[in-house]
Amino acid sequence: MKLITFELASTLVLLLLPSSTDARPAAAAASIAAVKTAPGVIELPLQRLSKRTRTRDEFLAKANFMRAKYGFDTSSTTESRSKRRRRAAGTVTMTAFQDAEYVGTISIGTPAESHSVILDTGSADLIMAADDCKGCAATTNGYSAADSSSSTSTSTSFSITYGSGDASGTLVKDNVTISGYTVASQTFASCTTMDNLVAGNISGLLGLGWQGLATSGAVPLVQALANSGDLPSKVFGFQFKSYAYDKLTSDYMTGGKMTIGGTDTSAYSGDINWVNIDSSKTYWQIPLDTITVGGTDLGISADNVVIDTGTTLIGAPVAAVAAIYAQISGAAAVSLSGSSGYYSIPCSGTYNVAFTFGNVSYAIPSDAFNTGQYDSSGNCLGAIFALTSSSSTGTGSSSLQWIIGDAFLTGVYSAYRFSFPAAVGFATLGSGGSAASGSSSSSSSTDSSSNKSMTSGSTRSASSWTVYPFAFTLGLLSLILSTGFGPGDGPKI
């Protein structure tokens, strides 16, 4: 067993929105037929693309993609998720969208072939472009089922419709390796037709959420590794590097590390502050204690806040957003393409907005709070925006009122624990941190196995994955997975 550390890269996200959160145990068992380990330290290469800048249109696209992902209407022409779920039996509808996110490398098949994938805690499926993908970029490195002796096809097909394009493919099973650990017969989607779904050399998306969130019903790759017992600890963590909006010199910038099997103590100081997730075990959801602006406690709290590495901004209820910007000098409500819920802030300002989780306050980096220029008068856009223009919530669930993305996560070390009690943890960026898992702030229970495996005397090796910020603009799309089963049933694979 070993502790795995990845250096990452950041790019735009392709995400799946499942219409059901049932566990589907039959498919899950098939997707985790075997887990094998390979020895040695694995270094993954860095990539760079051309320079780009941030614009108002890009900000609006990011906001709308987050809204669509979590079931909020983005316009009169965009169906809400609850409406899409009322389609005829025999289809499961998902929504795919993109944002500036983080990319690493996995290998698929026999012989193994490397693919760059977006890393996203806000989804739980693995989606790949096929090698014969029609509509993909010439540089897209697609998955080839025909070239893999371990590939197995399924009877589950799907199609995607959106804007001016479409996509289709099937669910397949194959061996998937992440930094030396292999899950045999992992179920994932292979797209043979795509239009504006991936760009450059990005092959797909690796969801890091829970199985209950997976539309395919498969155990997600990292959760499968945690279930196998082969990891030193059932934990993965992220250190994201923050860049000021006007300091980006490349579409790909070195951005941090991902660690699987424990935490990277060289990336943070002190202890991990663990906060138990909600009992649904779908999203990584935790309670928010309060928010302060300039040291003033706003008395804003929430039972469930989604922690999502697959999005850039921070989405919140209308009243909370207004209260936050009311404390910021020079902030003003603005409209983007006729849509409200956004605020401009002085580009030259320094901002002290902090969220409290588990009785500990964590500040949003000022550079991350400023997302880019709004106008030519020295005003920029703030990273926190209203998910709706009213008091409505997403997908009929009050738990989806807060989505915390990378604007916050770049300011902390974040960790995600599968073992009991399942939790999200934060720590102050730095070095010399404690390797012990510790107890969750919302529970007196501890993960004794994690405590034991992550002591300072551990001799497990680590491998690195490097992270970069990359962005491109795609259209909103809806993904329809044709499975031959009704809502709530498991896929016939």
Where are the domains positioned within the chain?
4-234+467-482, 265-452
Q: Pairing between strand 370-373 and 379-382?
A: antiparallel
Name, of 245-254, 284-293, 442-451, the range with top average pLDDT: 284-293
Residue 73 among the catalytic residues: no
Q: What is the pLDDT of residue 311?
A: 85
Of the listed ranges 46-60, 92-106, 479-493, the one predicted with least confidence: 479-493
- Annotation marks residue 251 as catalytic: no
Is the model more confident about 1 or about 431?
Answer: 431
Q: Name, of 3-7, 299-303, 486-490, the range with top average pLDDT.
A: 299-303
pLDDT at 177: 92
Residue 8, amino acid: L
Max avg pLDDT among 72-76, 91-95, 236-240, 434-438: 236-240
In CATH, which superfamily holds the domain spanning 265-452? Acid Proteases (2.40.70.10)
Query: How far is the C-alpha of 210 from the C-alpha of 89, rounded, in Å?
Result: 24
| pLDDT of 349 over the 90 cut | yes
Determine what percent of the chain is predicted with pLDDT higher than 70: 63
- Rounded Cα gap, residues 442 and 465, in angstroms: 32
CA distance 98 to 277: 25
List 73, 99, 120, 251, catalytic entry: 120
Lowest mean pLDDT among 15-29, 292-306, 375-389: 15-29
- pLDDT band per the 50, 70, 90 thresholds, residue 257: confident
Specify whether the CB–CB gap between 178 and 106 falls below 8 A.
Answer: yes
* Count of other CB atoms within 10 angstroms of residue 179: 27
Mean pLDDT of the chain: 73
Contact criterion met (CB below 8 Å) for 118 and 258: no
Identify the band that residue 475 occupies on the pLDDT scale cut at 50, 70 and 90.
Answer: very low
Nearest to 95 by CA among 155, 162, 142: 162
Tell whether the model's pLDDT for residue 18 goes beyond 60.
no
Contact 356, 442 (CB under 8 A): no
Position 89 scores a pLDDT of 21
Quote the Cα angle for 231-454-430, to 5°.
115
Structure-block tokens of residue 333: 């409500």
Asked if 318 and 366 count as a contact pair (C-beta separation under 8 A), the reply is no
Give the helix/strand (H/E) hosting 11.
Answer: strand 9-12
Per-residue confidence band for 253, with pLDDT thresholds at 50, 70 and 90: low
Span 194-206, average pLDDT: 76
Q: Is 346 helix (H, G, I), strand (E, B) or coil?
A: strand
In CATH, what class is 4-234+467-482?
Answer: mainly beta
Query: Residue 202: which residues within 8 A CB-CB, separation 6 or more?
Result: 11, 12, 103, 116, 117, 118, 140
Per-residue confidence band for 259, with pLDDT thresholds at 50, 70 and 90: confident
Pairing state of beta strands 423-429 and 152-162?
Answer: unpaired
Taking the C-alpha atoms of residue 17 and residue 97, their distance in angstroms, rounded to an integer, is 9
Number of Cβ atoms within 10 Å of the Cβ of 368: 26
pLDDT band at residue 186 under the 50/70/90 scheme: very high
Supply the pTM of this predicted model.
0.77
Query: For residue 369, which phi and psi values (nearest 5 degrees)?
Result: -65, -35
Q: Taking 70 as the threshold, does the pLDDT of residue 478 lie above it?
A: no
257 bridge partner residues: 7, 239
Tokens describing residue 376 = 């030519």
Task: Pick the catalytic residue from 73, 308, 367, 447.
Answer: 308
| Chain segment 135-178, per-residue pLDDT in tens | 888 888 999 999 999 999 998 886 654 334 455 789 999 999 98
The three-class DSSP label of residue 256 is strand
**Binning pLDDT at 50, 70 and 90, where does residue 390 land?**
low
Numbers of helices and strands, H then E, in the chain? 8, 30
> For residue 128, what are the CA distances in angstroms to 60, 286, 328, 444, 493?
26, 30, 43, 41, 18
Tens digits of per-residue pLDDT, 292-328? Answer: 999 999 999 999 999 998 888 999 999 999 999 999 9
199 pLDDT exceeds 80?
no
